[in-house]
Structure 1
Amino acid sequence: MEKQLNVGIVGTKFMGKAHSNAWKKAPLFFDVSAQPILKVACGRHEASLKEFAQQWGWQETETDWKKLVARPDIDIIDIALPQQLHYEVALAAAKEGKHIFCEKPLAMNSQQAEEMLKVCEDHKVVHYLNHNYRRTPAVALAKRMIDEGKIGRIFHWRCAYQQDWIVDPSFPLTWQLRKETAQAGPQWDLNSHAVDLAHFLIGDIATVSALTTNFIKERPLADESTSGNLKAESKGDAKGEVTVEDAALMLVQFANGAIGSFEATRFATGKKNGLTFEIYGSKGSLLFDLERMNELQYYSREDAEGYQGFRTILATDGSHPYMQHWWPAGHIIGYEHAFVHAVVDFIDAIETKQTITPNFSDGLKILRVLEAGLTSAERHQQVIIS
């Protein structure tokens, strides 16, 4: 009889949908080592919760996450919640011996992250932090090419994560714009992805110098019942203070001597989810744009003189990471597929009793860099990562 893993998900909005799709699709396209069972969906509002569960195929519903994590028949807790809620749920789940699939950023600060990591290690559970862009085939291919020495010694990293969903000053004061519920703005939300990619592709960051700014300091109070997928309505004329940054810039030096830059903003008009990185080395270069996520740009100095130039690699060939499980070469995949890849690797880690990356240890490293950036911006000085 095929082994099964019962999954309980906490959170039913944007990420709850993305995760549910991944749990459903993984065994359809990959030979997973255990069958994930969509057992219980947990959310606060019973009516919308039941609708979510019915749509995505969850067998049961629960409105109390504490009851969910205590159930002996649940093997995995999927935390698809905003970051201010990760800490409490993750600690409880780990203490109950549940494996944890958690959205990013890991926590509200590095102190929480340290405790989350320790409890997971003490209880010997598999813990995964869903920086899913690592599992985009083009990004995974870039990692392979770097490891194979295709671009040589790395000199430069340039990364920008740009969105525009709060350019309008009438956009309300949602939880993402308040320090008590978000910790920080794009430095936390967007740069967490960017720093994870830098750690994955380049290496550890040693020093940080940063600048943050606010363009709009007050906004209408939000009707939180309307919030979701970066949309919300205001609940009247009253306004509140924006207590996180609107944009952040970081300059860093990596432990291996490379230097890099990060831009994270929600004021890049026209950019809906623009994540780009550029890597320049002694033998070549790699460029990636999430809005063209199946493509990787590659330049090689070893090409013959007169034939050098950036070439586009369409990362859909069966030899490219993960792609043998999808469609014939040239048939592109999308945003949701990286979540499927994460679920497959997570299940394999559980069954083989191995670690998976990024995990809570990686999440802690990321938060230390992000905190260093906020400290640098506040003090107007370079911060060394200890």
Structure 2
Amino acid sequence: MTLKVGIIGANWSLKVHGTIWRRIEGVEVAAVCTAHQETAEKAAAEYGIPKAYWNHEEMAADPDIDIIDVGTRPAFRYPMVMAALRNGKHVYNSLPFAVNLAEAEAMRDAQLAAGVVGVVDAQFRWIPEAQKMKAMIDEGFIGRPLGFNVQLMQPLWAENGRCYSNCVWSGATDPYFWLADRNSGGSAWRNFASHAMLFVTHLLGPVEEATGILSTGVPEWHLPNGDVLHPQTHDLGTASLRLRNGAIGSLQAGWCVPDTEGWRVEVWGDRGRLVLTDNTFGNAPLAQLFAGDARPMALPERTCHRIEIPPEAYDLPGCIAPEPGPRALFAYDAMFVNMARAIREGKQGTPSFSEAAAVHRFVEAVELANTERRWVRMEEMG
């Protein structure tokens, strides 16, 4: 059975997701939808896509479409996702998952009621080093989980008197001016805390309570084209949290850090410690995993060593790989293969809408904690 994908949006979702979907065996990119006829038809012609839509309801109702990949800004996505679910489509939704908790839980409930697969755009768990980290935790390497530190940052750039976030103007995609708009549903906290916590909860389980502080440290973005934006969204957030299993930890998420290391996840227990780093946001095969156990050592000696990932970890049945071994965007390959397999086998994909709704609860709990200056339990939210 060929699965046919309709993509909403002509930026990242079409340029990157469209490429990946075409690598997956038995999957066809069959339609693209943008807000205007001329842009939809242009995108379809440029990328060799059979159908162009400029109304998401019409694409959702197309009986030939099996999967809707929703890639526009958060504030626009809810009716698109719900229309797809009403029409029995499987849905791949971007992050942040929703603009508020009510919509996050409504999408989760609608997806479960429809009996379709819902997957969110959180690729980190599919990196081979991340899969190894999860396996080592499950096998007991760290023992009883005690704590964790997580950072997920994107760089702040300054050149020729201009200062701006890489997220809004990377050069690889069309500029994301809307990231400055408070009504967009996005922010450094919402975007990156969602990504980070979908990995942390995958490793260690759900959040019980949290507190945090959010800020906007860079009041103006002076862009390469001469535009000046005044961001109304948070560019940095830090949270302290306790998981249901008792482990405590911290999370920093932002897009205003010069020369950032990108993604760093440190997890430890009463038997060992693991550290995962990646400065490519999971998009290139440059992640590194380190492990150390609790053997007594004479200071400053340590047991920490790098865990080597064999090239065969990149073997992926169901994917037409552009080259063997480590490669760019492998995490997306693996995530899309998993989603296609889940559809064919009648299972749930991962990261799921249920996971995303739970993490969105945490994201908004920290926003509430920032406003009220207190700890917030997840059960208080909604």
CA 1:4–1:201: 2 relative to 1, 3 Å:
same
RMSD of equivalent CA atoms: 2.7
Report the equivalent of 2:172: none
Alpha-carbon distance, 1:202 to partner = 1.4
Q: Does 1:6 align with 2:8?
A: no
CA distance in 2, matches of 1:285, 1:57: 48
Alpha-carbon distance, 1:317 to partner = 3.7
CA distance in 2, matches of 1:209, 1:106: 21
Q: Does 1:281 align with 2:298?
A: no
| SS of equivalent to 1:107 | coil
Q: Does 1:366 align with 2:359?
A: yes
Deviations 1:324-356 (A, max 9, x none): 876999x4322x111111110001111110112
Q: Does 1:133 align with 2:135?
A: no
Report the equivalent of 2:148: 157
Alpha-carbon distance, 1:94 to partner = 0.3
Give yes or no for contact 1:140–1:321 (8 Å, CA) kept in 2: no
Q: Does 1:259 align with 2:261?
A: no
Report the equivalent of 2:237: 248
Report the equivalent of 2:173: none
Could you tell me which amino acid in structure 1 is paired with residue 275 of structure 2? L
Give yes or no for contact 2:156–2:164 (8 Å, CA) kept in 1: no
Query: How much identity, in percent, do the aligned residues show?
Result: 22
| SS of equivalent to 2:99 | coil
CA distance in 1, matches of 2:195, 2:212: 17
CA distance in 2, matches of 1:280, 1:86: 37
Q: Does 1:383 align with 2:376?
A: yes
CA distance in 2, matches of 1:170, 1:158: 27
| SS of equivalent to 1:74 | coil
1:1-386 superposed matches below 5 A:
3-27=1-25, 35-165=26-156, 168-169=162-163, 174-183=177-186, 185-217=187-219, 233=225, 241-271=230-260, 274-291=262-279, 293-301=286-294, 309-318=303-312, 320=313, 331-334=325-328, 336-386=329-379
> What TM-score do the two structures reach when normalised by structure 1?
0.85
Give yes or no for contact 2:210–2:375 (8 Å, CA) kept in 1: yes
Give yes or no for contact 1:160–1:262 (8 Å, CA) kept in 2: yes
CA distance in 1, matches of 2:58, 2:138: 45
CA distance in 2, matches of 1:107, 1:240: 24
Deviations 1:229-249 (A, max 9, x none): xx77455xxx77532212110
Could you tell me which amino acid in structure 1 is paired with residue 207 of structure 2? I
Gaps of 5+ in 2: 169-175, 280-284
CA 1:234–1:69: 2 relative to 1, 3 Å:
farther
Alpha-carbon distance, 1:198 to partner = 0.8
CA distance in 1, matches of 2:334, 2:134: 16
Give aligned pairs, total: 359
CA distance in 2, matches of 1:156, 1:364: 23
Could you tell me which amino acid in structure 1 is paired with residue 332 of structure 2? F
Give yes or no for contact 1:322–1:341 (8 Å, CA) kept in 2: no
Alpha-carbon distance, 1:207 to partner = 1.1
CA distance in 2, matches of 1:48, 1:302: 61
Could you tell me which amino acid in structure 2 is paired with residue 98 of structure 1? K
| SS of equivalent to 1:374 | helix
CA distance in 1, matches of 2:271, 2:210: 27
CA 1:339–1:303: 2 relative to 1, 3 Å:
farther
CA 1:170–1:340: 2 relative to 1, 3 Å:
closer
CA distance in 2, matches of 1:256, 1:327: 41
Could you tell me which amino acid in structure 2 is paired with residue 40 of structure 1? A
Deviations 1:177-219 (A, max 9, x none): 2211135x21101111111111011111111110111223356
CA distance in 1, matches of 2:239, 2:194: 12
Gaps of 5+ in 1: 28-34, 221-230
| SS of equivalent to 1:207 | strand
Give yes or no for contact 1:316–1:332 (8 Å, CA) kept in 2: no
Deviations 1:31-90 (A, max 9, x none): xxxx11111111234555445434444222222222111111111111122211221101
| SS of equivalent to 2:115 | coil
Could you tell me which amino acid in structure 1 is paired with residue 133 of structure 2? A
CA distance in 1, matches of 2:150, 2:196: 7
CA distance in 1, matches of 2:310, 2:43: 32
Could you tell me which amino acid in structure 2 is paired with residue 129 of structure 1? V
